[in-house]
Structure 1
């Protein structure tokens, strides 16, 4: 055989041998697309292929082939089942099902790790209780003796139990709690077959936006922190720590995109999930219901321990899972460092996503956000901002006279600061005609009794504006 032919044969053999020995690493991720505040940990990463961008390609990963697998779930429990079974490496879910994930792993003789927060609220906003649109009920206190449905073992279930106990009620005797998934509850609310429904993001705001329910309780009234975050199989993390860091880097980039262009990515979430962009904007827009926060704040650590304790009280486990060992911040700290972001500064930041905007009518910069209102006009890519509800309502009348279709009107709750769908809110008009927004009629009445003013529903406040 000629010399060059021998060399070619040897080279080809070495290539075949190298290719055969190249490692394929699975990266299997469980998402909850319709749980929209998980978007930075799943949907946005997947749709924009951000994980592929950040996965390691050097050192021991130089010749690796990645087998990226995505699987969507409607809740955390089935996602956990597949993680425990070894079918998934990562998963995104709330504090309550996330804690159950840790418990399930432990009971299977394995271990999972809670690696970062995706979105949260130290006040508890995001979860909520709704009643049928035709119901006369205005507050949780009026539900004693009534039937309330909830997805069992969800964060909303934990919030509901805390809210009931805050009323001084016995959850076994004073209310009837039944298990119901969101899609079933929606039909039950429409047909008045249940008195109320408790649910997690986004259903307590989605159902009212669709017109067949009314929100009468927001999780912020419990003042109990809640969040969604990401978990990983601990054995996988030990074997591939660089992949875990890369995943969180992708999450950081997704989070930054959501913060920079909330309307654009609210539209993307609607395209994928069918959940209206105006509801997505409630969470992902400036001054949203929850913060854009990936750090392990003490309140979120405590929320995890509280969830574990609640699981025990519900007799869902006897596990001695320790939240401080279950939670790890080493991967998220490494991802922040690799992305050039100051973790300690983010850890200390409790602010909502800030609003930097000018009043759409006057062009004057908005500096006080306590009474901010916003209008999303159909076929306009950006939400319009106004310094007050009365300014927004004046603009709204002009838009309606022009025949413009309106997607949503937003207001900031004067007491809690959470973003509201203005059409669902109550307002107090003071002697100067200034309007302050509130989630509940009772909250508006209490403020009016203390500070003076007249309580108005949305149509009346809109007319006054």
Structure 2
């Protein structure tokens, strides 16, 4: 494997070996090497097929090496990792990043800010991952917070990265709920996480993987699931149009590589989670929460429902700051992706019209749960949450530690940690919810049902 990687590097970074001290830009200018600068977010794990996983697997370098073999043209790839989409947009505006991946709100801001500069002007060319209901963005509070609904944050401070997908979800949720008096502090995710832990803010609204990570680390509990909005949220890929025009073969290679990564993730989600965890520093259990079966839909196609969602985001972006009008329909360009699909003998239209998650567990997706035992390289699919609790009890009785267990939220379908869920017993069955508010909505409509925590549900599932 090391020899294979070295061979790719010798082709894609050929000149770097001879002029190790020069910059990528000067390297390209002096040696005729085509520069490819990729901006990505290693910890925004539903962009991994255009970032972390793509880079770790070397798919882009391999595709470019194939072009080098055919044409003799050499390519130098540089990866730039950021915490949010905003700095990627800044670098694209400065014409220093060619291709970038980010969330829905940041992509629209990207298009708005770059459209006046012909060399920086961008277009959306693919989707990395999406959730049809909006579950990729969430609001969390401290574990001991008395807040049980989003309305309880009125009069408090909430951390968010202004202009991000997480911030957009917060703005929309507050507006829909008629909630006022929330002071939003514009902070990077890791700063906001520290502010929440120290008590400087009372809530944190962020995109994946931050909510799941903090809950997994017992530093937060989930207060609001973005799926309550029932509006699609997505991440995708933008490219500078001038670069794509000058180097269409690079964009085609990138999209082919993204499809390689997407196929790998959907075929081997647990292995993909291991690779992403190793590259990003995130716990594999958290990566697999979002990128496992029934989590994020990893589908590259630009679906009409997602484009409509982008259009509906525009008024909110105008309400939070300087946002120039953007022709969303013109901003979205799927011709390059259609060409790549055709080269693979795939039906783009059929794929675009598909609405199901490409990766799901066997059985009823509204009930199917997943058990990951410590020391195992594979997970077990369990028919429903009640049976999952029994399986966990049995494993524990035999001295086997549970590494992670995942359940679908009963109301919203969001994939969540079983041990972090709020549970309801209704007769002989147990139902998980990712928020206490969701559990209480259920009990209010089902007389005789009762709320309980995970340990209580586990103890009663005989």
Q: Deviations over 1:375-431 (max 9, x none)?
A: 222221112221122222122123223333322121111221111111221222222
Within-5 A mapping of 1:68-107: 68-107=77-116
1:370 Cα offset (Å): 2.0
Correspondence for 1:313: 319
Structure 2 unaligned runs (5+)?
A: 1-28
The correspondence for 1:259, drawn from 266, 279, 287, is 266
Correspondence for 2:235: 228
Q: Is the Cα contact below 8 Å between 1:113 and 1:233 reproduced in 2?
A: yes
Q: CA RMSD in A?
A: 2.0
Structure 1 unaligned runs (5+)?
A: 1-19, 358-366
Correspondence for 1:300: 306
Correspondence for 1:125: 135
Are residues 169 and 141 of structure 1, via their aligned partners in 2, closer, same or farther at CA, if it must alter by over 3 Å?
closer
The correspondence for 1:142, drawn from 120, 140, 152, is 152
Correspondence for 2:193: 186
Are residues 28 and 345 of structure 1, via their aligned partners in 2, closer, same or farther at CA, if it must alter by over 3 Å?
same
Q: Is the Cα contact below 8 Å between 1:57 and 1:64 reproduced in 2?
A: no
Comparing 187-196 with 330-339, greater Cα deviation is found at 187-196
Correspondence for 2:398: 402
Q: Is the Cα contact below 8 Å between 1:56 and 1:243 reproduced in 2?
A: no
Distance in 2 of aligned mates of 1:70 and 1:143: 39
Correspondence for 1:435: 430
Q: Is the Cα contact below 8 Å between 2:409 and 2:432 reproduced in 1?
A: yes
1:259 Cα offset (Å): 0.9
Correspondence for 1:344: 349
Q: Is the Cα contact below 8 Å between 1:131 and 1:196 reproduced in 2?
A: yes
After TM superposition, the score normalised by the length of structure 1 is: 0.88
Distance in 1 of aligned mates of 2:408 and 2:303: 24
Q: Is the Cα contact below 8 Å between 2:39 and 2:97 reproduced in 1?
A: yes
The correspondence for 1:51, drawn from 51, 56, 60, is 60
1:244 Cα offset (Å): 0.9
Matched, 1:412 2:411: no
Correspondence for 1:17: none
Distance in 2 of aligned mates of 1:458 and 1:213: 16
After TM superposition, the score normalised by the length of structure 2 is: 0.89
Q: Deviations over 1:136-185 (max 9, x none)?
A: 21110211111111111111111110001011134xxx211111222122
Matched, 1:378 2:378: no
The correspondence for 1:449, drawn from 437, 444, 453, is 444
1:106 Cα offset (Å): 1.8
Could you say what secondary structure the match of 2:115 adopts? helix
Correspondence for 1:460: 456
Could you say what secondary structure the match of 1:185 adopts? helix
Q: Is the Cα contact below 8 Å between 2:167 and 2:206 reproduced in 1?
A: yes
> How many equivalent residue pairs?
431
Matched, 1:423 2:450: no
1:23 Cα offset (Å): 4.0
Distance in 1 of aligned mates of 2:224 and 2:249: 42
Distance in 2 of aligned mates of 1:80 and 1:294: 21
Q: Is the Cα contact below 8 Å between 2:38 and 2:98 reproduced in 1?
A: yes
Correspondence for 2:340: 335
Distance in 1 of aligned mates of 2:70 and 2:87: 31
Q: Is the Cα contact below 8 Å between 1:139 and 1:216 reproduced in 2?
A: yes
Distance in 2 of aligned mates of 1:430 and 1:301: 40
Correspondence for 2:216: 209
